[in-house]
With several copies, the nearest count.
Chain A
Amino acid sequence: MIDVLFFAELQETVGNEKVSMEADGMTVKALKEKLSAAYDLSLDHAMIAINQEYAAEDAMITNGDVVAFIPPVSGG
């Protein structure tokens, strides 16, 4: 199992800040596609962090990871 975190408008669309799911061995890209379909999300502009570090599309997810979808940031 992994935890997936959503923020900002993604969180509002999903209706949840965190979902737990099976994703061991998936790439970031595959997870994105799966969640895009499941929640009708536009993740094209979202960055992904695995365990609080930005990850590339081909990064592999393993059990226990915390994956966060990070829409374009607007702090400051």
Chain B
Amino acid sequence: MGKNYWITDKPIQVNDCIAKVIRPKAGAIDTFIGTVREFTKGKRTLYLEYQAYAEMAEKKLAQIGDEINEKWQDTETAIVHRIGRLEISDIAVVIAVSTPHRNDAFEASRYAIERIKEIVPIWKKEHWEDGTKWIGDQKEKTSYQEKLPTEEEMSDD
């Protein structure tokens, strides 16, 4: 089945990600899917372009999986992120986390998407009706303004 953390320039098949985490010990799988949204604060997106530092991004995705395994018991995580041009409603990212009990699955997959937006070298370029822009920090809930990651974020353990 290959690796659990990967960058692809092809359309994402959600099942490919889910299949990697289904297992007898798990009773719950939370799957987060990020899709290209047409309108953001009234502004219309025509399409997106994602770029990644692919090798490092895959390492950082794997690091997130390791972090999840430290924070919650007995987890299995898989994450795939697409790059290149994505149209409206295309799937940009899929995170699947399986756990024995459901609360952990919800919390862990939510953690994963937040961490992706902090440490994984992937960038989104918005192509709006009236222009383009590479998007920076998009964390919705916490501010992340420092120019260096924290010690924890730099660690690969």
Q: In the complex, which residues of chain A have a beta carbon less than 8 angstroms from the beta carbon of B1?
A: none
Q: Is A23 an interface residue (CB 8 A)?
A: no
Q: Evaluate contact between A7 and B117: CB separation under 8 angstroms.
A: no
Q: Is A39 an interface residue (CB 8 A)?
A: no
Q: In the complex, which residues of chain A have a beta carbon less than 8 angstroms from the beta carbon of B154?
A: 53-56
Contact of A73 among B55, B93, B120, B156 (CB under 8 A): B120
Which stretch of B14-22, B38-46, B70-78, B132-140 is in the interface? B132-140
Q: Main secondary structure on chain B at its contact with chain A?
A: mixed
Q: How many interface residues does chain B have, given as a range?
A: 35 or more
Contact of B56 among A11, A56, A68 (CB under 8 A): A68
Q: In the complex, which residues of chain A have a beta carbon less than 8 angstroms from the beta carbon of B57?
A: 75
Segment 15-56 of A: residues with Cβ below 8 Å from B: 44-47, 49, 52-56
Q: Evaluate contact between B134 and A8: CB separation under 8 angstroms.
A: yes
Total A-B contacts with CB atoms under 8 angstroms apart: 88
Q: In the complex, which residues of chain B have a beta carbon less than 8 angstroms from the beta carbon of A55?
A: 154
Q: Evaluate contact between A76 and B134: CB separation under 8 angstroms.
A: no
Contact of A7 among B34, B119, B121, B156 (CB under 8 A): B121
Q: Is B69 an interface residue (CB 8 A)?
A: no
Contact of A74 among B55, B124, B148 (CB under 8 A): B124
Q: Is B153 an interface residue (CB 8 A)?
A: yes
21 contacts between A and B (CB under 8 A): A5-B53, A7-B121, A8-B123, A9-B134, A12-B134, A49-B56, A53-B156, A54-B149, A54-B154, A57-B148, A68-B121, A71-B123, A73-B117, A73-B118, A73-B119, A73-B120, A73-B121, A73-B137, A76-B81, A76-B122, A76-B138
Q: Which residues of A contact B (CB under 8 A)?
A: 5, 7-9, 11-12, 44-47, 49, 52-57, 68, 70-76
List 7 extra interface pairs beyond A71-B123, A74-B122, A75-B93, CB under 8 A: A49-B56, A56-B148, A73-B120, A74-B123, A74-B135, A75-B121, A75-B122
